[in-house]
Amino acid sequence: MKHILIVLSEWGYWGEELIGPLETFDRAGYEVTFATPKGKRPVALPPSMDPNYIDPPLGRSVTSPQVAEKVRYVDQSPRLSNPLNLSELMPEMPYFSSPSLIRDLESYYLAIDKARVNVLYQYDALLIVGGSGPIVDLANNQRIHDLILSFIKMGRPVGAECYGVACLAFARELEDRKSIIWGKRVTGHCKEYDYHDGTGFMGTDFNMGPPPYPLEYILRDATGPDGAYIGNFGKETSVIVDFPFITGRSTPDSYLTGEKMVEVLEKGLTRYGW
């Protein structure tokens, strides 16, 4: 039985971007464990449970009544209770002003190795779910970066959707500071689909307006001259497999992202969509 680790933001995940892969993993008979940055129960973003919500860039609803019902069911079920606490699993990098920096760094790297051997080895793949929440607590989260790097070092696939793909762009070793997707093909939320206004998060009524960063530009820079960002703007779906990465552009790509992750695990798929 395959075992998948799914990471969710505590500031709001987009419902279908969890439901699509989760249903696919369930049908495949996989075991699933959820994790959040600090062990808090994740919550779906309200628009992702509302079939009447009109996505501004697309000018239409992106949530069917059936998917909205599924999201509400999982969001209210005990399945998301007691997620793994990544702040307890993965160590925090010491400040470089530490008076015992070398010893602290040694302890830090040993703790990562310990987590990989004692906990992470049991998971066959990692998935980072999208939505606006990852902008807050996943994209620039050092523990998430180290989690991703651990899966890569174990030779295991890493999936990411929408704004969750930003985590891949920023995950990098200290030695060379080069993104792990350098030279790779990925997709993610393209510029044309960004909100002009209304980017919101759970736990606050703050309206950020547009997203604080254009994900497409970050991914174009992070993949470098030998890789590529593939947005497939205007096409109904956009999922890219460039092993070990499986990336989905946005909500309509959720089920396909899950399906391709299963194909990677079951059939050895290494390339799709480019």
How many alpha carbons fall within 13 Å on the CB side of residue 205? 0
At residue 46, the pLDDT reads: 96
The string of pLDDT tens digits covering residues 215-251 is 999 999 999 999 999 999 999 999 999 999 999 999 9
205: DSSP letter: -
Mean pLDDT of 96-123: 97
At residue 148, the pLDDT reads: 98
| 259 band by pLDDT with thresholds 50, 70 and 90 | very high
Helix (H) or strand (E) holding 170: helix 166-170
Q: What residue ranges in 37-150 does DSSP mark as E strands?
A: 54-55, 60-61, 84-85, 125-128
Contact indicator for 194, 184 with CB cutoff of 8 Å: no
Domain ranges of the chain: 3-272
First-to-final CA distance of the chain: 30
* Distance of alpha carbon 205 from alpha carbon 202, whole angstroms: 8
The string of pLDDT tens digits covering residues 109-119 is 999 999 999 99
The three-point CA angle 78-79-83 to 5° equals 100
Query: 3-272 architecture in CATH?
Result: 3-Layer(aba) Sandwich (3.40)
| 206 band by pLDDT with thresholds 50, 70 and 90 | confident
The string of pLDDT tens digits covering residues 65-89 is 999 999 999 999 999 999 999 999 9
Average confidence score pLDDT of the chain: 97
At residue 170, the pLDDT reads: 98
Q: Is 90 exceeded by the pLDDT of residue 207?
A: no
Q: β-strand 185-186 against 228-229: which pairing, if any?
A: parallel
The string of pLDDT tens digits covering residues 145-167 is 999 999 999 999 999 999 999 99
The string of pLDDT tens digits covering residues 44-62 is 999 999 999 999 999 999 9
